Amino acid sequence: MGLREVLIKHLTLIILIVIYVILWLLREVFPEYSQLIITLLYYITIAQAYNIFLGMTGYVDFGYVSYFGLGLYGMAVAITLSSSSNMSEYIAILLGILLALALANTVAGVVGAIALRLRGAYFAIATIGLSQALRYLIEGAKIWGGAEGVIIASDLRKIFGEERFSYATITLPDTGIFILTVISGLVMYVVRNSRLGYGLLAIREDEDVARVMGISTTLYKFIAFLISASLTSLVGSMWALKITAIYPPESFNIAFSVEFIVIVMLGGAGTVLGPLLGGSLYALSKYYLGTILPGLQLTIFSVLLLVIVLVFRQGIVGELRSLLYRYSFIREVIR
């Protein structure tokens, strides 16, 4: 296969990565929009991570915020520990990443092993209580500072030094989030075009038939679930460095799960480009609606969700693809 064929074959991925890089560079050009762009990347990345599970399997997880929250706590706890034992900054960050992954995978492993045996709506119901349970567990049992939360600003100052504090809370996490944006896009693309992706597609379309056709449905759902939770926890670990104060109610807020369900559906569940469009549109409108009509943005989004579910069930990318399906080139690219 020549270079041209390879480029055409993977054009979707190339477009995706190019847009990500452009977004990242815009941040350098317009420093005043830097945090808006990072917020955009943050939405895109978590949506893409969630897409690997929700979009590919069709399973709605209301507990999804938990993996982000565990990522926040993983990094925060690691920073606190590193600060008190005088570890270097690299070890501290690495420890935070590993702890975020370990916590998210442990909880996702337990939840998945139990709840993924359930179908569709039952799975959704089973996951509703997870984030609340974690929140009250942390508060009630006074784990990780309980309701007081974990404040890491002074620990970061100690580990990184005063002069590198802005590196630790801006440059490092922003770069980390950008890298995760690229990774999540890449993972989604690879999964979609793999044996795992075909299995998940079958599960989403008809799980009973998928089983009759030889797919180990529970295992496949489980793998997608862990990949998804891992990526989200990594975003959480970077986000902790930005916000430097982690509290249970904000970390395990179910509204956050709902927000990402809307984004994935808006962009087009199971599509590679969906989270980019859904995430950008959502983040931008939330940002501007928040200044124009503060407090009303959630009302507007609930109407939006209704419209998506009733009229545009395939989301932006899905509908666009259906509309232009007869053009084989566009069909190959918009997916």
Residues at the contact surface with another protein, assessed by CB under 8 A? 193-195, 198-199, 201-202, 204-206, 208-217, 325, 328, 331
Rounded Cα gap, residues 171 and 169, in angstroms? 7
Quote the least distance from Cβ 190 to another protein, whole Å. 11
The helix or strand, by DSSP H or E, that contains position 165, with its residue range, turns out to be: helix 165-166
Burial category of 287 from C-beta neighbours within 10 Å (exposed 0-12, middle 13-18, buried 19 and up)? middle
User: 40 or 203, CB closer to another protein?
Assistant: 203
Backbone angles phi, psi at 144, to 5 degrees: 50, 50
Quote the least distance from Cβ 204 to another protein, whole Å. 7
What is the DSSP secondary structure assignment for residue 118, as one 8-state letter? S
Quote the least distance from Cβ 34 to another protein, whole Å. 39
User: 217 or 280, CB closer to another protein?
Assistant: 217
User: 56 or 103, CB closer to another protein?
Assistant: 56
**By the 8 A CB rule, do 317 and 334 touch?**
yes
Quote the least distance from Cβ 111 to another protein, whole Å. 22
Quote the least distance from Cβ 60 to another protein, whole Å. 17
DSSP one-letter string for 272-316: SSHHHHHHHHHHHHHHHHHHHSTTTHHHHHHHHHHHHHHT-TTHH
Quote the least distance from Cβ 229 to another protein, whole Å. 24
Rounded Cα gap, residues 42 and 11, in angstroms? 23
User: 87 or 201, CB closer to another protein?
Assistant: 201
Rounded Cα gap, residues 265 and 208, in angstroms? 24
User: 236 or 315, CB closer to another protein?
Assistant: 315
User: 154 or 322, CB closer to another protein?
Assistant: 322
